[in-house]
Amino acid sequence: MLKVHKVKGSNVEVIKRYRIIPYQELVDVLKDDGEAFLEDADRELKRGTVWKAARKLSQLVGRPVKAGRAFLRFPDGTVIEGWSFYVQE
């Protein structure tokens, strides 16, 4: 059941959450390497958020950037899940 709460004039506080994507770090890696992996261990990023991030990264890098769901495997066999951002050739 959905319930509506009054905010204005009451003693409650709305706490807004924003997920911060480290754009500058991604831009640096994309310019140097051409591909960057963004781990989202705590919570899954939504596809729309990743799409918007790829669009913004394209502007910052100056070349088309694509993104896709991926796994990253380390030499010790550990695997993490996240998003792969890569510069389209």
- Give the angle subtended at the CA of 82 by the CAs of 80 and 56, to the nearest 5°: 150
- Give me 36's structure tokens: 């960057």
Q: Could you report the per-residue pLDDT of 51-89, keeping only the tens digit for each?
A: 999 999 999 999 999 999 999 999 999 999 899 999 987
Closest to 20 measured CA to CA, from 48, 51, 49, 41: 49
Cβ count near 68 (within 10 Å): 10
Residue ranges covered by each domain of the chain: 23-87
Q: Could you report the per-residue pLDDT of 23-49, keeping only the tens digit for each?
A: 999 999 999 999 999 988 666 788 998
What is the reported pTM? 0.76
8 A C-beta contact, residue 50 and residue 67? yes
Q: How far apart are CA 23 and CA 2, in angstroms?
A: 36
Q: Is 83 helix (H, G, I), strand (E, B) or coil?
A: strand
